[in-house]
Amino acid sequence: MKAVLQLSDELAAELLETDHLVISTPVYNYNVPAALKAWVDHVVRKGLTLGVDGKGLVTGKKATVLLASGGVYTDDSPIKDRDIATHYLKLILNVLGITDITFIAAGGAKTVDLGELSMQDFLETFDHQIQKSLV
C-alpha cells in the first residue's frame, strides 16, 4: 500500500513545504483540466493535509492562481456563472487551510486564437497582476 501512496505522499510533502503555491491552468469547459484535478486528489489527504476533524493543515501559505480561459468571466459578464474553475479552486484551497489567495483571470484568450490580439499583447495585459502577486 505504501508504494501506491508514494506519489501522493511526495506531492503532499511539496505542498506542505512551500511558502507560496502557484497554480497556472487553462480552463476547459468552465473547469480545471483532469491533470490538475488529479493533483488535487493526491494532495487532499486526511491525516496529512487535513486533520482528522477535516480542518485544513496547510496554513500560513499564500496561493496565486492564474486561470487562462477563452471566455471572460468578470462580474459584469453575462456568462460569469459558468466560471466553475475559480469557485472549485477557492473551495479546495480553503479546505486545505489556504486563505491568502490571489486569482488572476486571464480571460479572453480566444482573441489570440482568432488573430484579434497577439500573444504578447494578451500576456502584457496580465503581467502587472502577476508580478504584484509574486511579491
pLDDT tens track for 12-24? 999 999 999 999 9
**Residue 18 within a domain:** yes
pLDDT for the residue 97: 98
pLDDT at residue 18, rounded to an integer:
98
CATH number at residue 119: 3.40.50.360
Q: Give me the tens of pLDDT residue by residue for the chain, a chain 135 residues long.
A: 788 899 999 999 999 999 999 999 999 999 999 999 999 999 999 999 999 999 999 999 999 999 998 888 777 878 888 889 999 999 999 999 999 999 998 888 888 889 998 989 888 888 877 777 776
Assess if residue 40 is contained within a domain.
yes
Q: Is residue 116 part of a domain?
A: yes
Determine the residue type at 100: D
Q: What was the pLDDT predicted at 50? A: 96
The dihedrals phi and psi of 97, each to the nearest 5 degrees, come to 110, 0
What's residue 3's pLDDT? Answer: 85
Q: Residue 6 has what pLDDT?
A: 95
Q: What is the rounded CA–CA span in Å between residue 103 and residue 38?
A: 20
* Residue 45 included in any domain: yes
pTM summary value: 0.86
Lookup: cell for 97 = 487551510
**Helix (H) / strand (E) containing 96:** helix 84-96
Q: Which three cell numbers stand for residue 94?
A: 480553503
Residue 58, pLDDT score:
98
Q: Is residue 1 part of a domain?
A: no
> What crossing angle do the helices spanning 34-43 and 6-17 adopt, rounded to 10°?
80
* Residue 116 and residue 70 in contact, taking contact as beta carbons nearer than 8 Å: no
Domain annotation covers residue 81 = yes
* Helix, coil or strand: residue 69: strand
Question: What is the total count of domains within the chain?
Answer: 1
- Residue 108 lies in domain: 6-133
